[in-house]
């Protein structure tokens, strides 16, 4: 079974990988592929891309949006640029990317059609670290969101089809559109990390503690209300004739000025109620206090 869809098709390919396999061990070759996959796969998913299949050192990808496809291509090249800047020369990876769009036939494991064939041919003409795409993509994308320029015309050898106008991405660090795409890619990466976190450990504990803290807070508020209805207030009088009511020593004139000549009784019931409400509010704001309180 297959369906027809209008999709953006992308090919990525490691430059010089075939030549390098003749001089590298199998372990080195597989290690490079693993680094390549680990760097590119998360970026592809963040931009809504589908990995149709991996062909050795190449990816065949599809996207619903041509603009997102080019943004993804920019972030893919940037991810490898960062890696190559820090990696030893023998582990550096350079890829070339070609993009086309149109109506294709889609199965569970593959995608077919002229847009796929054209994208594959353009990939052969693309140079390392570059992103080339067809005029069909240029006309379909949001041109205000993609920094690009006309590159050249292309005609496949032995192909009677007319020449294809090709465009290339401008990777200028001073270009605000280019920087905006990288910034959006970083935001998507952060959101993807949070979304992919399992519901265990810290998030689950926080959720569980918050629920328990809320229940305890409600119970404490209820108890505070009951104490207002049924509790018996206890008034405490302060003796103004002494500096220390327990010691019974006379107060000096200076010390006597510190005492209220008309002291008001202190309602211990209200004090307990206020303390209870403060603690309950603290638990709602910070459920971790519940565990701390229980251990005391």
Identify the domain boundary among 169, 196, 223.
196
Return the pLDDT at 114. 94
Overall domain count for the chain? 2
Return the pLDDT at 265. 57
187 and 213 belong to one structural domain: no
CATH number at residue 57: 3.30.70.1230
SS3 string, the chain, reads CCEEEEEEEEEEEECCHHHHHCCCCHHHHHHHHHHHHHHHHHHHHHCCCEEEEEECCEEEEEECCHHHHHHHHHHHHHHHHHHHHHCCHHHCCCEEEEEEEEEEEECCCCEECHHHHHHHHHHHHCCCCCEEEEHHHHHHCCHHHCCEEEEEEECCCCCCCCCEEEEEECCCCCCHHHHHHHHHHHHHHHHHHHHHCCCCHHHHHHHHHHHHHHHHHHHHHHHHHHHHHHCCCCCCCCCCCECCCCCCCECCHHHHCCCCCCCCCCCHHHHHHHHHHHHHHHHHHCCHHHHHHHHC
How many CA atoms lie less than 13 Å away from 154 in the CB half-sphere?
Answer: 22
Q: Tell me the average pLDDT across 253-262.
A: 52
123 and 226 belong to one structural domain: no
86 and 123 belong to one structural domain: yes
140 and 276 belong to one structural domain: no
Tens digit of each residue's pLDDT (9 = 90 or more) over 131-143: 999 999 999 999 9
17 and 75 belong to one structural domain: yes
Return the pLDDT at 105. 97
138 and 219 belong to one structural domain: no
Q: What is the mean pLDDT of the chain?
A: 77
209 and 183 belong to one structural domain: no
Tens digit of each residue's pLDDT (9 = 90 or more) over 123-176: 988 999 999 999 999 999 999 999 999 999 988 776 677 889 999 999 888 888
Return the pLDDT at 218. 63
38 and 62 belong to one structural domain: yes
Identify the domain boundary among 161, 196, 231.
196
118 and 46 belong to one structural domain: yes
55 and 189 belong to one structural domain: yes
Higher confidence at residue 144 or residue 192?
Answer: 144
110 and 230 belong to one structural domain: no
Residue 60 tokens read as 């065949």
pLDDT band at 266 (very low <50, low <70, confident <90, very high): low
206 and 59 belong to one structural domain: no
**Could you list the residue range(s) of the whole structural domain that residue 185 is in?**
3-196
Strand pairing report for 131-134 and 95-106: parallel
Tens digit of each residue's pLDDT (9 = 90 or more) over 84-121: 998 988 889 999 999 999 999 999 999 999 999 999 99
Identify the domain boundary among 151, 174, 196.
196
pLDDT band at 196 (very low <50, low <70, confident <90, very high): very low
Q: Tell me the average pLDDT across 61-66.
A: 97
């Amino acid at each position: 079974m297959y369906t027809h869809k209008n999709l953006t098709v992308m090919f990525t390919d490691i430059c010089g990988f075939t030549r390098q396999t003749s001089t590298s061990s199998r372990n080195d070759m597989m290690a490079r592929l693993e680094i390549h996959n680990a760097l590119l796969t998360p970026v592809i998913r963040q931009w809504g891309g589908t990995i149709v299949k991996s062909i050795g050192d190449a990816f065949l990808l599809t996207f619903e949006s041509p603009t997102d496809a080019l943004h993804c291509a920019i972030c893919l090249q940037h991810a490898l640029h960062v890696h190559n800047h820090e990696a030893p020369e023998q582990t550096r990876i350079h890829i070339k990317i070609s993009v086309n769009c149109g109506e294709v036939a889609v199965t569970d494991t593959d995608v077919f059609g002229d847009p796929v064939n054209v994208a594959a041919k353009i990939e052969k003409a693309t140079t390392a670290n570059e992103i080339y795409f067809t005029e069909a993509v240029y006309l379909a994308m949001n041109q205000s969101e993609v920094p690009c320029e006309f590159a050249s015309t292309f005609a496949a050898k032995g192909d009677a089809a007319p020449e294809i106008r090709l465009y290339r991405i401008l990777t200028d660090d001073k270009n605000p559109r280019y920087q905006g795409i990288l910034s959006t890619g970083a935001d998507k990466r952060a959101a993807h990390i949070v979304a992919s976190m399992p519901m265990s450990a810290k998030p689950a504990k926080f959720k569980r503690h918050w629920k328990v803290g809320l229940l305890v807070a409600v119970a404490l508020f209820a108890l505070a209300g009951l104490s207002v209805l049924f509790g018996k207030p206890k008034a405490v009088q302060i003796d103004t004739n002494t500096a220390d009511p327990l010691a019974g020593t006379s107060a000096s004139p200076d010390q006597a000025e510190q005492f209220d000549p008309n002291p008001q009784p202190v309602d211990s019931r209200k004090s307990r109620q206020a303390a209870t409400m403060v603690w309950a509010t603290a638990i709602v704001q910070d459920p971790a206090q519940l565990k701390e309180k229980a251990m005391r």
